[in-house]
Amino acid sequence: MVWGNGSADTADCEEVAAAVSEITRDAIGAEIELVRGQDAEQINLALTSGEHIDLLNYNNVSGQLATIVRNNYAMELDELVEQYGQGALEVIDPVDLDACRFSGKLYALPDQKDTSRNSGFSMRKDIVDELGIEVPEYGTYEDMHEILVKVHEAKPDMYCLVPSWANGGYQETLLIDPLGDNLGVLEDPLTDSTEVVNLYATDKYMEYAQMMYQWNQEGLVMPDATTTTENNLLSGNGFAMFENWKPGKEYENYKANGKEVVFMKLHEQNIKYTDLANGNSFCIPYSAEYPEKAMELWNLMYTDAEVSNLFINGIEGKHWVYADEEKTTITTPEGVDPNASGYSSVDWAWPNQQITPVWSGVDPDLWTKLNEFNKSGVASPAMGFSWDSNSVLNQVTACNNVVTEYNTALRWGMAGDPAEVIPQFLADLESAGINEVIAEKQAQLDEFLATKGDSAETETESSAAEE
């Protein structure tokens, strides 16, 4: 049984599973059952009750591999990968693979999605073109402010800046390594510094909060940004939103919102950190009935284009059709609503999108550019580190409650003057135990780095001895 991410009708899942099974019966001696569209509560219930899920996308349970491991949901993979996953290992970047280890043991394999990051703003192209706005490829918050002011003056009834998703959801534009949960971060992962600091006490957080407070006072922010229950707000009366960028992001937004977008990136340098590589993947749960077959199927998902395309895009003729004679691009069949086909295409949430056709309208070199983008990221000095909060779990829970109370409102400029609010935020964090959390995270990071250094030294000595 495979539990994947994204939504799909039960009948469509059964049809896809039947098509995959036609291949896997001969390839690995197994048939597939596919489930999609389950929320975190349903998945947690299934895992805690011991339901036989053989391969699970853990994104709906938690974006963090450490959480999956701490809850004893995932089994160790080293032996399974060694025996059944060699094809996958040929595809995966070793740097990303190491990010899927916890206490030195492998619990996941990284999807072939974006494992580097840049960030900035998506803006509706129709409004940009109508108002003759020049959008630089790389810009600053000041550049974005000028653009938002122009839109507000020309279209006072439009929401200039809207959440990335409901309830004030946003994608991080500050250049940090969150070290798993933002409770103790590397403030500038492009440097060699491995000092864990309180993000909310940094100058960059204060400056960001003050900027958003100003933007909100100027009417540039959606008034109910923190409470809206709507997603895909660019499809309505929204103009721009915070976004992470990767090659193909513009078309991904078009599929979600039905609007063409242009993107302004905030950072000249792309970054890599652990959460990007292991933040969305599959695991083999402890309750798996057929872990060996699950690993064999997982390996096929990385190496077999037909299997990968079926899981990602569904059935040819029903969910998609080829758009060219070379069979390198696909599109929605005539008369089918791409947002209601019965099988959503969430390509980044499956093991290897890079061996499937691209959608019509996307750069035909998308996968090459995505691969180059991933390799271009500068790795954080903490790359591969997975934070284990068990020893300070009460403090982490208390701190997260405080962050929930303050952070989203501050991020959207709706908490009042940051110069007055942030000191109270920090005081409440200290009372909740943020300093103990940071001290424990620093100790774990230091130990990880020391072990990593010892391993690298041993490998160097072994190589020298062989020569």
**In angstroms, rounded to a whole number, what is the distance separating the alpha carbons of residues 297 and 176?**
36
**Going by C-beta distance under 8 Å and a sequence separation of 6 or more, which residues neighbour residue 458?**
none
**Are 145 and 172 members of one domain?**
yes
Residue 205 included in any domain: yes
Nearest C-alpha neighbor of 140 from the set 291, 314, 7, 265: 265
**Are 290 and 327 members of one domain?**
yes
**The total number of structural domains that make up the chain:** 3
- What's the pLDDT at 121? 97
pLDDT digits over 8-61, tens only? Answer: 899 999 999 999 999 999 999 999 999 987 777 888 888 888 889 999 988 767
Q: Note whether 120 and 245 are within 8 A (CB).
A: yes
- What's the pLDDT at 460? 46
How many Cβ atoms from other residues are within 10 Å of residue 236's Cβ?
13
pLDDT digits over 256-266, tens only? Answer: 778 899 999 99
**Are 396 and 357 members of one domain?**
no
Domain edge (last residue) among 275, 302, 333? 275
pLDDT digits over 383-440, tens only? Answer: 999 898 989 999 999 999 999 999 999 999 999 999 999 999 999 999 999 999 999 9
CA separation, residue 134 to residues 69, 131, 160 (Å): 47, 9, 16
Residue 361 included in any domain: yes
pTM exceeding 0.75: yes
Instruction: Give the domain extent around 323.
Output: 2-113+278-379
Looking at residue 167, the DSSP 8-state letter turns out to be: T
Tokens for 359? 């959608």
**DSSP alpha helices (H): ranges in 155-263?**
203-217, 249-257
**Are 128 and 164 members of one domain?**
yes
- What's the pLDDT at 465? 53
**In angstroms, rounded to a whole number, what is the distance separating the alpha carbons of residues 458 and 436?**
33
pLDDT digits over 82-130, tens only? Answer: 999 999 999 999 999 999 998 889 999 999 999 999 999 999 999 999 9
**Are 198 and 293 members of one domain?**
no
Task: Show the CA angle centred on residue 314, arms to residues 309 and 319, nearest 5°.
Answer: 125
Residue 385 included in any domain: no
**Are 218 and 308 members of one domain?**
no
Domain edge (last residue) among 317, 346, 379? 379
**Are 154 and 265 members of one domain?**
yes
**Are 22 and 91 members of one domain?**
yes
**In angstroms, rounded to a whole number, what is the distance separating the alpha carbons of residues 164 and 299?**
33
DSSP, collapsed to helix, strand or coil, labels residue 325 as coil
327: left (phi over 0), alpha (psi -120 to 50) or beta: left
Nearest C-alpha neighbor of 250 from the set 361, 117, 412: 361
Residue 334 included in any domain: yes
pLDDT digits over 61-73, tens only? Answer: 765 777 788 888 8
Nearest C-alpha neighbor of 273 from the set 178, 172, 369: 178
**In angstroms, rounded to a whole number, what is the distance separating the alpha carbons of residues 369 and 384?**
24
**In angstroms, rounded to a whole number, what is the distance separating the alpha carbons of residues 100 and 355?**
22
Nearest C-alpha neighbor of 244 from the set 278, 272, 281, 225: 272
Residue 184 included in any domain: yes
**DSSP alpha helices (H): ranges in 242-392?**
249-257, 274-278, 291-303, 305-313, 366-376
Domain edge (last residue) among 353, 379, 405? 379
Residue 345: band (very low, low, confident or very high) from pLDDT cuts 50, 70, 90 = confident
